[in-house]
Amino acid sequence: MNALLAATATREVQWNVPDGLVVFMYASMAAALAIFAYGIWRRARIWRLGRPYSVRGRPWLRTRRMLAGLAQVTVLRRVFPGVMHALLYYGFLVLFAATVMVFLYDDLGIDGVFEGDFYLWFESLTVDIFGILFLVGAGIGFYRRYVVRPAYLARNEPWDALLLGSLFAIALTGFGLEGIRIEATADPWASWSPGGNVVAHAVSPLSDGVLEDVFPWLWGLHVLMWHVLLAALPFTKALHWFTTPANLFFARPVAPRSVPTPTDFEAEEVRLGIKNASDMTWKQLFDLDSCTECGRCTSVCPAYASGSALDPKRVIIDLRDAIRARGLAAEPLAGDVVSYEALWACTTCRACEEACPVGIEHVPTILGLRQNLAMEQVRMPGGVSDLVANLEAREHPFRGATAGRTDWAEGLDVPALGSVAEAGGAEVVYWIGCAAAFDERAQKIARAVVRVLRHAGVRFAVVSSQERCNGDVARRTGNEFHYDLLARENVEMLNGAGVTTLLTHCPHCLEQLRYEYERFGGRYEVRHHSALVSALIEEGRVRLRPGERERVTYHDPCYLGRYNREFDAPRRVLDVLGVERVEMPRHGAESFCCGAGGGHAFFDETEGPDKVNQIRTREAAATGATTVVTGCPFCLTMLASGARAVGTPERTLRTMDFVELVAEALDE
């Protein structure tokens, strides 16, 4: 029943554990198992009531992610908390394995478990070492939570300290039992049990009689604590011990990433986002029970960093607690359980999902709740209402008349897309996007792209006049109905024109055209201009003059990097330009948002006292760069406004799309 008791028995030392205590322990084990099973059944019942979610495809990739989780690779991405978790995890596994072996030997009478060297190497030495590491891990856990106290660990569930404390106490009483045994039996192999040996020395002043009296009660306490923990598991965050490997397997392994559950507007009863838990998929419900409360999502969240009401860890925990307490009918989740301000503060940057070690997908849940606010409750920031009105009236979110869509190309004589054939068999069909069509600053990006394409001799056509907004801004502000309309119209137009390959300089357009239009029958090969320009340079089709060696830092747009996994192409281009490229501390997959995503380019009412774009611009300025370069027109606008806000009259960061630097350096 217990490793140390069995070890005691193994050495034929008869301790006087009262029969009544042993019977009580068996009864408590049965009760603990029954409560544990009941708790799991209650959780599983909720998961089963969730909406469908497909786990088809990429089984090997899913398995790899699950194994990486089991091996602690995902938690070790952050060293200090990762090591803490790994010590607890591996320590627990070894102690648990030892307990199972003892159960086999002592309770079921299976011989051969503890014989010879195996007893010494595993049951004594290995178990002791891992037990010590387990205590160290628990100690680090206490130190982080109650001494260092990072803000993102505040407000964990009240069980947190109790859970960590009970793990610590179980391990400590285990060493206590071992130490008493070693001391009382003058164990000749004591040196094989370093932890127990230390305790043995500590209890050596006590008489044999005292040790004999203490042992059964300490054993009882040790076992009882484990039973209580077992019973409590499904009702606390410790449930993640069982759910996280599965959650890593279930998490969507490929693009499109972080999209809301599609709405069927043809259905008899249309669900307008997530009103209550029954509107969530079973994976979204499973996510809630997989959270370790590590706070990594919160620590990287730009909205949280700006002081807004959004704390992604709290979103998950508050939903979990509300659904546990009130069941599937708990409503309204949007605006009540998760506040209006928190839901509108999300920039959909995916930093939380990238940081989460257990595969939780925050964004689809936040967007589902936002959909309910937008489409059912009609509670939106003023800027969102305006952009929806613009989409309805003009099919783009900016001010400015639709007729102005092609103004950016004035004097460029660009071939318009009639059909690809009419365009003379264009190598590339260039999708301009609304920003370059209606925003003066972004128009320069499109003009620079055209200049580079012409220089490289690329035959291209532009969609421009036939484009509508790609719908991203509608989708990310919860207005799925408007998104649905725009996406269908764009797909119909592109398919009608026979378009199969596209170029865009906007990562939001890229995401839609490359991945999210597939649901509407739009399957295109889409390249971001960074990939195309980088390839043209490599092919020798773009010749560049050596430029000034100015110091430049690159900002990864969330929808290019974390959504579309393109990190290298823009950097390759910058390196060819010969600039001195310096990285911000947060870059690549860990990049910090500019603040524009999720429709925030059009509203900022829910932002905190600090501004996301200003935080990012300060970070860029701290590198000593004179120019911050990016590959997204929305990032460019946010960084430019950040640079104006945080700069000084003497020094304001220049903000550029990398293709503008290429156009400046063309050797014509």
User: What residues make contact with ligand SF4 under the rule CB under 6 A?
Assistant: 291-297, 300-303, 310, 312-313, 316, 346-352, 355-356, 358, 360, 362-363
Tell me whether residue 360 or residue 442 sits nearer to ligand SF4 (CB atom): 360
To ligand SF4, the closest distance from the beta carbon of 11 in angstroms equals 43
To ligand SF4, the closest distance from the beta carbon of 342 in angstroms equals 9
Which two three-digit tokens encode residue 402? Answer: 């639709």
Tell me whether residue 480 or residue 607 sits nearer to ligand SF4 (CB atom): 607
Residue 656 neighbours by CB under 8 Å, 6+ apart: 627, 628, 629, 630, 636
To ligand SF4, the closest distance from the beta carbon of 305 in angstroms equals 9
To ligand SF4, the closest distance from the beta carbon of 356 in angstroms equals 3
Tell me whether residue 447 or residue 600 sits nearer to ligand SF4 (CB atom): 600
To ligand SF4, the closest distance from the beta carbon of 37 in angstroms equals 25
**Spatial separation of the C-alpha atoms in residues 373 and 379, rounded to whole Å:** 5
The crossing angle, in degrees rounded to 10, of helices 19-48 and 208-232 is 20
DSSP state string for 301-347:
-HHHHTT-S--HHHHHHHHHHHHHHHGGG---TBTTTB-HHHHHH--
Tell me whether residue 347 or residue 470 sits nearer to ligand SF4 (CB atom): 347
Q: Is 525 helix (H, G, I), strand (E, B) or coil?
A: strand
**Spatial separation of the C-alpha atoms in residues 534 and 576, rounded to whole Å:** 9
Tell me whether residue 239 or residue 494 sits nearer to ligand SF4 (CB atom): 239
To ligand SF4, the closest distance from the beta carbon of 277 in angstroms equals 17
Residue showing tokens 């009259």: 649
Name the nearest CA neighbour of 275 among 381, 145, 358, 375: 375
To ligand SF4, the closest distance from the beta carbon of 78 in angstroms equals 10
**Spatial separation of the C-alpha atoms in residues 253 and 263, rounded to whole Å:** 21
Tell me whether residue 199 or residue 248 sits nearer to ligand SF4 (CB atom): 248
Tell me whether residue 288 or residue 446 sits nearer to ligand SF4 (CB atom): 288
Name the nearest CA neighbour of 477 among 312, 599, 375, 559: 599
Give the count of beta carbons closer than 10 Å to the beta carbon of residue 74. 21
To ligand SF4, the closest distance from the beta carbon of 596 in angstroms equals 11
Are the C-beta atoms of residues 377 and 422 closer than 8 Å to each other?
Answer: no
To ligand SF4, the closest distance from the beta carbon of 343 in angstroms equals 10
To ligand SF4, the closest distance from the beta carbon of 348 in angstroms equals 5
**Spatial separation of the C-alpha atoms in residues 302 and 298, rounded to whole Å:** 9
Which two three-digit tokens encode residue 607? Answer: 């932002």
512 CB-contact burial (10 Å; exposed 0-12 / middle 13-18 / buried 19+): buried
Give the up-direction half-sphere exposure of residue 657: CA atoms within 13 A in the CB hemisphere: 27
Tell me whether residue 215 or residue 249 sits nearer to ligand SF4 (CB atom): 249
Tell me whether residue 182 or residue 355 sits nearer to ligand SF4 (CB atom): 355
**Spatial separation of the C-alpha atoms in residues 492 and 133, rounded to whole Å:** 61
Tell me whether residue 349 or residue 663 sits nearer to ligand SF4 (CB atom): 349
